[in-house]
Amino acid sequence: MQPANPSILTINGGSSSIKFALFEIVGDSLRRILEGVIERIGLPESTLRVKGLNQDDNYTRQVTATHYTLATNILMDSIEARRGRDALAAIGHRVVHGGPKYYKPERITAEMIEELRGLKSFDPEHLPEEIQLIEAFHRRFPNLTQVGCFDTAFHHDLPRVAKLLPIPRRYEAQGVRRYGFHGLSYEFLIGELGRLAGSKTAQGRVILAHLGNGASLAALRNGKPVDTSMSFTPTAGVPMSTRSGDLDPGLVWFLARTEGFDAKRFNEMVNFQSGLLGVSEMSSDMHDLLKSETQDARAAEAIALFCYQVKKWIGSFAAALGGLDTVVFAGGIGEKAPSVRARICDGLEFLGIELEEKQNNANEGMISSATSRVTVRVIRTDEEWMIAKTVCRALALGTKEAES
């Protein structure tokens, strides 16, 4: 029996789910052979969904995953059954927040774990679960290399004026500044833009719009970030599925006086009860809202607010860039909701943005018109592939560009 090629397992953990993918290293290339998700961790009727190259690798089944360790064991049982334990070369983890210290992919050590524990106050919604995942995999495979791939890393070299927050300077020494997120997605998108349109286009004035359950935008020039909409936490910027985006900070004091809000209750409101869900009072899912908007004014207003705020960020970033050459839409909404893209771009003709309706409605890769001065594209983002490529780069497992 031929030994299996070494492979990279990528892990993208959420509060109640784990997305994963398995990439085989074939020479200097990466080949995705398996992907899936465990959903409803900690809840009844957890589900494992797997999709692979072979027919036997495509299935959905109910599992018992009352906590992360159980979910990890289920995942690893599935991987081992498909590939065998010895085929794994490394595990790459998406870590949402790297704080001021971690801004490049690194091997995960006990020291790093302790320092990430100290960053929990920076990102209490993501870091605790991510640390649990890393530790669960270490218990299962104590000798297997794990690599942290930090979502904040892409924005590390933002211009200082974009990093600074206008609060007392002493907080900067504690690491309080704009970090930005969705960095793995943005790194993939700017690389893919270069592959599709050439390096000159990727080096131009570019706005990347990652619009999904979490949504943000980034402005790039010379292939490097100039600004981004998320800030110290992923709650900032545009409204999202359940996150508020930017708010008047005076609202904290108002709600404390009128409704007795404490910090925890305010945090829960702006992260889990706001955005599309809060305004529509019916759903956090853009697809659901689009189906309901003609019958429900609240759904229509939630969509309108989302599109209006994204449009404003595009305008402000065009000003920061001194003009605009390319806009890229990505993420679940950015890739699959043509009417949302059309509403965002409507009224931006003064910037040189004009969409071709037929191409936009068909979700084609190029959706700007022939007369548009700004090229508008739809690119499917791939954070899992980016994690695998980052791991290969960090561990010197490949030298050439990998292929998805």
- 182: alpha, beta or left? (left if phi > 0; alpha if psi -120 to 50): left
- Residues paired with residue 11 on neighbouring β-strands, in sequence order: 20, 93
The token pair at 334 is 């950015």
Question: Who contacts 349 (Cβ-Cβ below 8 Å, separation ≥6)?
Answer: none
- Residues paired with residue 394 on neighbouring β-strands, in sequence order: none
Q: Is 151 a catalytic residue?
A: yes
What's the per-residue H, E or C state across 269-312?
HHHHCCHHHHHHCCCCCHHHHHHHCCCCHHHHHHHHHHHHHHHH
Virtual torsion, Cα 72, 76, 79, 85, nearest 10 deg? 150
The token pair at 346 is 């409507």
Q: Which amino acid is at 75?
A: L
CB 356 within 8 A of CB 369: yes
Q: What are phi and psi of 188, to 5 degrees?
A: -65, -45
Query: 151, 227, 325, 382: which is the annotated catalytic residue?
Result: 151
Q: What are phi and psi of 184, to 5 degrees?
A: -65, -40
CB 141 within 8 A of CB 113: no
Active-site residues: which are they? Answer: 151
